[in-house]
Amino acid sequence: MDAVEQDVRFEWADFYQAFASQLLTWRNRREELVAGIHRIAAEIGSMSHLQDKPANGVPHPLKDICPFTTMGLFNRSLTVTNRRNIAASLAKLIGVREKVPESFDGIPLLNNQKSWFFGYEKSRKPEDIDTLWEMFSQAISFADTPNADPADFLFSYDAASNVRNVGWNLTMGLYWLRPWFYPTLDSQSQYYIQKVLNIKIIKKGAKGRCSGHNYQTVALALKKAFTQPNYPVHSFPELSLAAWNIDLQQSNDEVERLTWKAYLLNKIKVLCLRKD
């Protein structure tokens, strides 16, 4: 295992990866999955957003769910205690044995008011939730298969990007399921990648966001940069954590001082002073 992957700040990664892999086995057991989620919601609370809205009639409990929305249940703006309780209950439901993390450093969170990856019944297409399950499956397969052809992943990424309510949250979901392989492009991370690391994010996909090809290009550029010994960060979890520690109100001069080139020059300066 890489030394970065042993960083105690990111011990949560093992749980997230195990959870994602086990969740995929429930792809064809969604009625049972949703029923279990509703039971957990009744016991724990903090999950009142699981009411669907049909075109005509009154709201009713959600009858189907995608894997990203499922993982999103413990990746919303809640207390750490609530997140751990929800994660533990869901893990027990689907059969995850990995220990629930004590902390969640470097994990981007969904907006509590918009934490579904698909639209209400009245506005979603019949295939939307299946499209998201296929994206989830292809993402795990691509990440876990060395030298895999990215074609199926890229196709699924572009298809999922067209689902109502899917935007940059898709990259957050990919990060959750394999945090050492996929970057999150939430607003803070985009800022850090472009302003601090000077890596451009091309956005030629659906809804003015990244296409699958654009996303892969950013991921590969970052992975290559991580190999530089003096680079500010060396993994996607480190990047995400660093991004969330950045104050977006900083002046351009302050941001410039944080760029990796400035960081490297400062390192050289320190070494020279030590020699003197």
pLDDT of residue 271: 54
pLDDT of residue 8: 86
Asked if residues 174 and 182 have their Cβ atoms less than 8 Å apart, the reply is yes
Residue 131, pLDDT above cutoff 90: yes
CA-to-CA distance for 264 and 174, rounded, in angstroms? 30
pLDDT of residue 261: 53
Instruction: Please tell me which residue, 57 or 237, carries the higher pLDDT value.
Output: 237
Q: Which two three-digit tokens encode residue 111? A: 């907006």
Amino acid at 17: Q
Q: What is the mean pLDDT of residues 7-19?
A: 96
pLDDT of residue 87: 98
CA angle 213, 205, 240 (to 5 degrees): 70
Instruction: Please tell me which residue, 268 or 67, carries the higher pLDDT value.
Output: 67
Residue 273, pLDDT above cutoff 80: no
pLDDT of residue 57: 80
Q: Which two three-digit tokens encode residue 136? A: 């989830």
Confidence of residue 2 (pLDDT cuts 50, 70, 90): low
Q: 């019949």: which residue's tokens? A: 126
Q: What's the whole-number average pLDDT of the chain?
A: 91
Q: Is the pTM for the entire model greater than 0.75?
A: yes
Give the model confidence (pLDDT) of 61-93 as tens digits: 999 999 999 999 999 999 999 999 999 999 999
Confidence of residue 46 (pLDDT cuts 50, 70, 90): confident
Burial class (CB within 10 angstroms; exposed 0-12, middle 13-18, buried 19+) of 7: middle
Q: Which two three-digit tokens encode residue 94? A: 């689907």
Closest CA to 164 of 213, 121, 212: 121
Residue 254, pLDDT above cutoff 90: no
Closest CA to 68 of 126, 155, 12, 128: 128
Confidence of residue 253 (pLDDT cuts 50, 70, 90): low
Q: 């992943």: which residue's tokens? A: 153
Asked which of 44-53, 213-222, 264-273 is least confident by mean pLDDT, the reply is: 264-273
Instruction: Please tell me which residue, 9 or 275, carries the higher pLDDT value.
Output: 9
Residue 75, CA distances (Å) to 87, 199, 202, 239 in order: 9, 27, 27, 18
Q: Which two three-digit tokens encode residue 12? A: 């949560």
pLDDT of residue 48: 80
